[in-house]
Amino acid sequence: MAGRKNNQRPVYLNLLRIHLPVGAVVSILHRVTGVLLVVSLPFSLLLLQRSLASAEDYGRVTALLHSLPARILLLVLLVTLAHHFFAGVRHLFLDLDIGISRNGGKRGAWLVLAAVATAGAIAAGCLFL
């Protein structure tokens, strides 16, 4: 503590006030969406198994998937899948040294967000119209 003054205190870092660059946000969301997709996989497989069991179960699963909460959940899952896919493609390009510069990384991150917004709008149009 030779370099520290006696009246100097440790700095409190408020993690909610730190502004991350857009590339970091896309990278963190890529990990989060991967976890969400893995967590949703057993439920998706259960619905698939139920729909294949009999004609009555298929009708129940179809009726369930036509409800508003299920459509909202499907939209969230589709947007999650779209983000994970597009961010994964971005990471593959970065591994190939494409878009590795500061401006290229920023542009690629914004392209991922634009592609996810477009895919989400298309999915919402298909699910709710």
Q: Which domains can be identified in the chain, with CATH numbers? A: 22-128 (1.20.1300.10)
Backbone angle region of 89, left / alpha / beta, with phi > 0 → left and psi within -120 to 50 → alpha = alpha
Q: Which residue has the tokens 């294949």?
A: 52
Token pair in block for residue 63: 């009726």
* H helical segments located in 54-101: 55-65, 68-95
Share of the chain above pLDDT 70, in %: 95
pLDDT recorded at residue 18: 81
pLDDT recorded at residue 99: 92
How confident is residue 100, by pLDDT bands cut at 50, 70 and 90? very high
Mean of pLDDT values over 81-86: 98
Backbone angle region of 14, left / alpha / beta, with phi > 0 → left and psi within -120 to 50 → alpha = beta
Name the average pLDDT for the chain: 93
Give pLDDT tens digits for 60-70: 999 999 999 99
- Cα 35 versus chain centre, distance: 9
**CA–CA dist 39, 43 (Å, integer):** 8
Mean of pLDDT values over 59-83: 97
- Angle, in degrees to the nearest 10, between helices 22-53 and 102-128: 30
Q: What is the pTM of this model?
A: 0.84
